[in-house]
A and B are shown apart, each in its own frame.
Chain A
């Protein structure tokens, strides 16, 4: 009995905020600001999602998609090549990889932000998708290299050696034999990069000032300031921002957990 009571409390703490966000976004206006909150609604309003998209979130959604996809594609491509090299060749860099990953996990992003701002200003990359993508590579790449290297380590070397003895070059064997086998690892790393870029706030807030280039977290935080009391709209915007990553997250959490432990822990 006590077990179940505890389980209910834990479940409520974990889920209630999420459920309340969804519920508030669907309640009719008159039901939101109530002294005694109603825990259900008989008349869900789906119109708020359209309102929010019209209020600038369609543009923010596009920006977030472009930036997160760009970061993912560039980051995974860079990390796959490096991860393969580190898994298959005896390189002196191998030893510093973990150190690098840990250091990047450890330092606060504010350590990078001033010089990145200055360089981007000089190169005209402020207020651009490319600028944000580059900034995001700084923290997604090291962990992605780490994840992919561990993944390539699990693929037997005989496979390329067989292909190479059949006349394939090393690069050919890598692209045609190993990368296809690494599909699950590449997918998990891609989702990890996507989530990190999708959620990032500090760089997006600092490097983008133009309203039509804002990503979702910045748009949401600005929206809260403008809409002070319209919690229905604010929650609808939060749902649009949250639900895609929650789905991705639940798809890969297993791998992410082990990856984070490996990436953030002394080996």
Chain B
């Protein structure tokens, strides 16, 4: 009797709590958000569950509303810029950590720090670093040549995004650098030796040997950081709150404001679904690329 129970009942008994969590807290909410994206829902929906079917109106609204359209463009441009910067910094740090020098182990640990800091705290600390009057950033930049005294980073869109971007890169380069370092260390020494015998210099080595061998890993890391950088919420909320004049709103912030400040639940849901769809399409696209890559080998 025991063994029959063990084989047939026990596994499902063990899985039940996890399945409840996944269906109740993930599958149901996602389905409900999709459902809501086809409906007009506002305060009455929160109060008593009233909503009205409106077909694709919410999605049409995403395409016609000037602000929402801009949010999409901003999210994409800012997201890709952050991915590019993170990959560049991450690769540079990985190449550095792959060199033999004294203190390399220490640097490997120090580099972890930014990753460990909670996003909200990182935003707050960098806001102080970017302070117009007394910030360390303006002081350092002024000493490097250009006078930044009193320059206020958060009064305009582009400087504000640069400041937010610095925080994003600061927090995400450690993961990229350490993953790439692991990749670099798995390249067989014979390959490098052969290239060196053929007279390849360090730059040629990077371009023709190292980067091609790391390509699958690079693509994967690009996917991971794209996913991160398209859903940024905390850093923006803490550093600019989406201002000035909603000009630094990214998609996640806009969904939240549409839903909980303006109570446009239907269009907020549509925007959330669209953001998810964009991430899904990109992930699938990238994984096709990686697979084609594998097939070529």
A residues bordering B, Cβ < 8 Å?
3-4, 6-7, 10-11, 13-18, 20-21, 24, 32-37, 77-79, 81-82, 84-86, 88-89, 91, 93, 100, 102, 104-119, 121, 134-135, 137-138, 141-142, 145, 169-171, 198-199, 201-202, 205-206, 217, 220-221, 224, 231, 234-235, 238, 241-242, 245-246, 249-250, 253, 257, 260-261, 264-266
**CB nearest neighbor in B for A93:** B15
B210 at the interface (CB under 8 A from A): no
Contacts of A245 in B (CB 8 A): 116-118
Contact of B22 among A33, A100, A169 (CB under 8 A): A100
Cβ–Cβ contact B120 & A137, under 8 A: no
Cβ–Cβ contact B256 & A266, under 8 A: no
How distant is the Cα of A115 from the Cα of B287 in the complex, in angstroms? 30
How distant is the Cα of A134 from the Cα of B32 in the complex, in angstroms? 17
Cβ–Cβ contact A7 & B96, under 8 A: yes
B residues bordering A, Cβ < 8 Å?
2-3, 6-7, 10-12, 14-15, 17-19, 21-22, 25-26, 28-30, 32-33, 36, 45-46, 49, 93, 96, 99, 101, 103-104, 107, 109-122, 124-129, 131, 133-134, 136, 139, 149, 170, 174-175, 178-179, 220, 223-224, 227, 230-231, 233-234, 237-238, 251-252, 255-256, 259-260, 265, 268-269, 272-273, 275-276, 279-280, 283, 287, 290
Cβ–Cβ contact B237 & A221, under 8 A: yes
Cβ–Cβ contact B127 & A238, under 8 A: no
Cβ–Cβ contact B96 & A3, under 8 A: yes
Cβ–Cβ contact A17 & B129, under 8 A: yes
**CB nearest neighbor in B for A219:** B120
Cβ–Cβ contact B121 & A107, under 8 A: no
Cβ–Cβ contact B125 & A238, under 8 A: yes
**CB nearest neighbor in B for A108:** B231
Contacts of B139 in A (CB 8 A): 35-37
How distant is the Cα of A24 from the Cα of B179 in the complex, in angstroms? 33
Given contacts A106-B283, A114-B33, contact A6 B170 (CB under 8 A): no
A163 CB to nearest chain B CB (Å)? 13
**CB nearest neighbor in B for A85:** B14
Say whether chain B's binding surface is mostly helix, strand, loop, or mixed.
helix
Cβ–Cβ contact B280 & A114, under 8 A: no
Given contacts A7-B103, A14-B174, A266-B290, contact A111 B117 (CB under 8 A): no
Can you list 11 A-B contacts (CB < 8 A)? A3-B99, A18-B117, A37-B139, A81-B15, A88-B11, A108-B252, A117-B46, A117-B260, A171-B6, A217-B234, A253-B115
Give the A-B pair count, Cβ closer than 8 A: 259
How distant is the Cα of A119 from the Cα of B28 in the complex, in angstroms? 11
A206 CB to nearest chain B CB (Å)? 6
Contacts of B224 in A (CB 8 A): 264-265
Contacts of A217 in B (CB 8 A): 118, 120-121, 234
How distant is the Cα of A85 from the Cα of B11 in the complex, in angstroms? 5
**CB nearest neighbor in B for A238:** B121
How distant is the Cα of A138 from the Cα of B134 in the complex, in angstroms? 41
How distant is the Cα of A135 from the Cα of B17 in the complex, in angstroms? 15
Contact of B25 among A7, A116, A266 (CB under 8 A): A116
How distant is the Cα of A84 from the Cα of B13 in the complex, in angstroms? 11
How distant is the Cα of A37 from the Cα of B140 in the complex, in angstroms? 10
Cβ–Cβ contact A15 & B110, under 8 A: yes
How distant is the Cα of A4 from the Cα of B280 in the complex, in angstroms? 42
Cβ–Cβ contact A78 & B21, under 8 A: yes
Contacts of A224 in B (CB 8 A): 124, 127, 238
**CB nearest neighbor in B for A16:** B136
Given contacts A110-B256, A111-B273, A224-B238, contact A253 B112 (CB under 8 A): yes
Q: A84-B14, A106-B283, A118-B32 are in contact. List 14 more A-B contacts (CB 8 A).
A: A11-B110, A21-B128, A33-B133, A78-B17, A82-B17, A91-B15, A106-B280, A109-B252, A111-B276, A112-B25, A241-B120, A245-B117, A245-B118, A253-B112
Contacts of A114 in B (CB 8 A): 29, 32-33, 36, 259, 265, 268-269, 272
Cβ–Cβ contact B134 & A142, under 8 A: no
Contacts of B133 in A (CB 8 A): 33, 35
Given contacts A106-B283, A111-B272, contact A142 B175 (CB under 8 A): no
